[in-house]
Structure 1
Amino acid sequence: MNAVIEKLKQKSFLVIGRAGMDFYAEPPGTEMEQAESFSAHVGGSAANTAVALARLGCTTEVVTCVSDDAVGRFVSAKLASFGVGTKHFRSIGGEARNSLAVVETRLDNCQSVIYRNGAADFDMGIEDIEAPDYESAGGVILSGTALAAEPSRSAIFQAIELSRAAGTPVIIDMDYRPYSWPSQEEAAAVYTRAIERCDLVIGNDVEFNVAAGPGRDGFEHARSLIDGTPALVIYKMGERGSVTFAGSESFETGIFPVQAIKPTGAGDAFMGGFLSGLANGLSVRGAVEQGSASAAIVVTKVACSSAMPDRVELDSFIANHSLSSTDDTPALNTTAPGAPNAYRAV
């Protein structure tokens, strides 16, 4: 674990995965079919995470493919405006298109319509992955979405091998999107191959259930990973907080209660806040708390990338808000197959 954290302190990250466009129905609170207009933002898990890190003082480069059209150029320009590097973008012509998410800014029955047919980022290949300098990166962040199809699946596994050969920590956000996978069984097999080769594994209860496979418990699967390659595993439970496994130690973390206006963006914000915390010398517990604060901020604003906090906003938020108590978290029922929703007493 110490070697992983020391490398992260270089504050330089390669983020590999999806970069697309998000349309948010306006004004906030409006149902999509009643919207008067839509605001456009850069989106996608890799892009959002890169923005989160850049706004907190880290150097980030996104490795992906974008469509060779105005939307691809929009994505590239927007990321550059946030200080995110795009030199490892490859533009693809033909029928490939950037992913598009059309989303509402509301909590109850929030509609999110995702367009992913012929997604340009799924065309990312070995040649794209071999271009970056892995030795100079402090960490390589992988988005699990890219594992759902070829050739990006093979590209992600190549990135893992190149990172490990360079001695650079590999961090995976499981980012499971069921509409991208042929089946849960295939997702379980592929995720297992990937996360067992990564140093830091972050996912939510649903994602760990999928990775565990049918009839197996996601929480127990997350706990068991720490006996292998991963030095740190974070099991997120939404409003119930998270459980962190780090070597022989484990701990629970609550959330920062806020008046949220949407459910999207919290995971990417958590990743950015957490990794930047480790990069800046926070303890693992302190970094998890910073990730939780970043997530809390993002769900109070429209969009994802545009909502990521900078250092001043994040520090001010933490100084003026308190984490919820983990005493409110009910016990995990590990006797029921796949029971993922709560945890008490590791």
Structure 2
Amino acid sequence: MKLATVGDNCMDYYAALDKAYPGGNPVNVAVYFVRLGGEASYTGVVGTDGYGQEMIDGIKAKGVDVSHLRKLEGKTAITQVELVEGDRVFGDYDEGVLSEFSLDKEGIDFLCDHDMVVSGLWGNSEQYFEEIQARGVLTAFDAATRPEDEAPKIAIKNTDYFFYATDDGDTEELRAQMRAYHKEGPKYVIVTLGEEGSLVYDGKEFYKYGIIATDVVDTMGAGDSYIAGFLKGALEKQEILKCMEMGARNATETIQYQGAW
């Protein structure tokens, strides 16, 4: 099983601790997928600053293929982070050289040499999903907490697994929204609900799975861990509830330490 992740990366900077950790949605998914025993690559760009090399070295050290991670003149993306009772709170975001990221034909060919391609809200990659899916490769997209943004609206039509998150719980309004998103094209719409677990809609029925309780140190990367676990199960052709369990278990491991990985 080979997973291609593409798009954003960033250094998560904890000002109160004066520490920065490599991260970013596609990067995290790749790292967690490898942690689960799969193969993964990350395609993207970093800056020529010190953080750029730290990002490359960190991802590579986790066993992720970085052959298509390039440097561009400028700054690596940075996200300001605060910890409030173990819950990560995002502050300012400087996109840096990611604003210049794009894929050429060779880059798309590389992604299509995998079993699945994953990107997300800030990945600048949604415009490539139509071609990738047309070439018979599975796709997954994480809309974070903003499924109504322009990028998810573009990606959803060519996405097999459409993820997003909400803190509002399992409501009739949420289920109606999931049904509407499913009609846009995804085979599965998956929503993470924080402490309430997750909810999946496959066009016929809803599936609910809770969390696996543990002591929380830092929730950074919890959602990305869930995605990696869920997609590992999907590629293994596991039942939906098993995929949800795999996602929950992977998230539980991540929240027991500081930083995404």
Distance 1:197 1:206, change over 3 A: farther
Matches of 2:87 and 2:116, distance apart in 1? 36
Which residue is equivalent to 2:102? 125
Q: Describe how 1:44-63 pairs up with structure 2 within 5 A.
A: 44-63=24-43
Which residue is equivalent to 2:208? 252
Give the aligned length: 258
Partner amino acid, structure 1, of 2:127: F
Which residue is equivalent to 2:163? 202
Distance 1:245 1:72, change over 3 A: same
Which residue is equivalent to 1:14? 4
When Rg is computed on C-alpha atoms for both structures, the one with the higher figure is 1
**Structure 2, unaligned runs of 5 or more:** none
In percent, how many aligned pairs have the same letter?
Answer: 22
116, 138, 157: which one pairs with 2:115? 138
Conservation of the 8 A alpha-carbon contact between 1:63 and 1:129: no
CA deviation map 1:170-190 (0-9, x unaligned): 10011247xxxxxx9xx5444
Partner amino acid, structure 1, of 2:122: T
Which residue is equivalent to 2:189? 233
CA deviation map 1:214-246 (0-9, x unaligned): xxx444121223334211111221111221112
The answer to whether 1:70 aligns with 2:50 is yes
Distance 1:205 1:219, change over 3 A: farther
Partner amino acid, structure 1, of 2:75: R
Matches of 1:108 and 1:59, distance apart in 2? 30
270, 284, 308: which one pairs with 2:226? 270
Which residue is equivalent to 2:199? 243
Q: Root-mean-square deviation (CA), in Å? A: 2.6
**Structure 1, unaligned runs of 5 or more:** 1-10, 26-31, 147-151, 178-183, 208-216, 307-346
Q: Describe how 1:1-346 pairs up with structure 2 within 5 A.
A: 11-24=1-14, 32=16, 35=17, 38-93=18-73, 96-107=74-85, 111-116=89-94, 118-127=95-104, 130-146=107-123, 152=124, 155-158=125-128, 160-176=129-145, 187-205=148-166, 217-304=173-260, 306=261
CA deviation map 1:260-317 (0-9, x unaligned): 122321111101111112223422210111101111221121111x2xxxxxxxxxxx
SS in 2 for 1:229: coil
Higher strand proportion = 2
Matches of 2:86 and 2:160, distance apart in 1? 36
Distance 1:283 1:145, change over 3 A: same
When the two structures are superposed, what TM-score results if normalisation uses the length of structure 1?
A: 0.68
